Structure 1
Amino acid sequence: MRDNPFDEIETLLDRVSRQVEEGMAAGGLQVPGTVPVDVADTDEAYVVTADLPGYETDDIELTLSDGTLRLEANRLGDDIAAEGTYLRRERTKTSASRRIRLPEPVDEEAGAAGFENGVLTVRLPKVAGGEDSKRIDIE
C-alpha cells in the first residue's frame, strides 16, 4: 500500500501548532511593534505592567476609553551622527502600541501610572460604571 503524501505535511503542521501554543502559554510570542504587558486582577483594581526600555515618560501616551486601555509610545532615534559617523545603527526611531480590554469597568478618575527603569505600571481601580474617555498622566 502506498503512503499518504500528506502525512508529512500534517506532521509538520502539528509540530508548528504545538510550538505556537507553547509559545503563547509561556508568553514567548511577541508581535513586532507591540508592548509586552502583564495584567493582574487584584480584588480592588487591575494592575497593568508594561516593558518600555529606552523610552522616556514624555514618549508615552495612555488613554482609557470604553473599558480599553490604550498605550502608545514613540521614540525618536538619537541624532549623534552630527558628531561622527555611525559604524552601526540599530537604535532608530521606533514606536510601539498596545490595547488592553478590561473585563470590568474601572474608576477612570482614580487611575494612576508610574514609570521607572523602563517599566510602566498602571493601576486602575474597579467600579460599577463609567464610559467616557480619560487621559492618564504618568508620574
Structure 2
Amino acid sequence: MRQNPFDDLEELLNRISKQVEEGMMTGGGLQVPGSVAVDVADEGEEFVVTADLPGYETDDIELTLSDGALRLEATREDETAFEEGEYVRRERTSKSANRRIRLPEPVDEEAVSATFTNGVLTVTLPKERGDDESKRIDIE
C-alpha cells in the first residue's frame, strides 16, 4: 500500500508547531520576540531576578522599578562596518530587548541592587518589611 506523501508533511508541520509553541512559552507566560527570558526566585527575604544578556555591556542595560514591576531594557548598537571590503555574511546587527516583570510582593526600592557579570544580569530585590509588631485593636 502506498503511503500518502502529505502524511510526512503534516507530521513535520505538527512537530514545527509544537516546537514553536514550546519555545514561546517560558515561565507560564508568552515569550515575544525581543523579550528577555528571566528567572525570578523567591529566596525568603528577597526576590532574585536573573536574565541572560549575552553580547550586551553594562552601559547597554537600563533597569527601572515602578508600580510593583521591574522593567529591563537593553539596546546594543550596530557595530561599525568594515572600512575596506564588504561582508560575505552579516547576521550580527543592532538589537534591543525588554521585559517587564511584575513582582508578587512590594520590595524595598532603596535596597535594590544589580550586578552584570559575563552576560548574566542578577537583580536582588529585598522584600519590603512591614511592622513586625502586632497592634492591639480596640473594639468599640
TM-score (norm 1): 0.72
Match of 2:41 in 1: 40
Q: Deviations over 1:66-101 (max 9, x none)?
A: 110000000001113224311111111110000000
Q: Partners in 1 of 2:68 and 2:27 — Cα distance?
A: 26
Give 2:121's aligned residue.
120
Match of 1:79 in 2: 80
Q: Show structure 1 runs of 5+ residues with no match.
A: 1-11, 130-139
Indicate yes or no: 2:57 matched with 1:60: no
Cα 1:117/1:83, change in 2 over 3 Å: farther
Higher-Rg member (1/2): 2
AA partner of residue 86 (structure 1): Y
Alignment of 1:92-107 (within 5 A): 92-107=93-108
The CA distance in 1 between the partners of 2:124 and 2:39, in whole Å, is 12
How many percent identity over aligned positions? 68
In the alignment, the residues of structure 1 paired with residue 129 and residue 80 of structure 2 have an alpha-carbon distance, to the nearest angstrom, of 48
SS at the partner of 1:34? Answer: coil
Number of aligned residues? 115
Give the superposed CA RMSD.
2.9
Q: Would you say the 8 A contact 2:55–2:119 is kept in 1?
A: yes
Higher relative contact order (CA 8 A, sep 6+): 1
Q: Partners of 1:62 and 1:55 in 2: how far apart?
A: 14
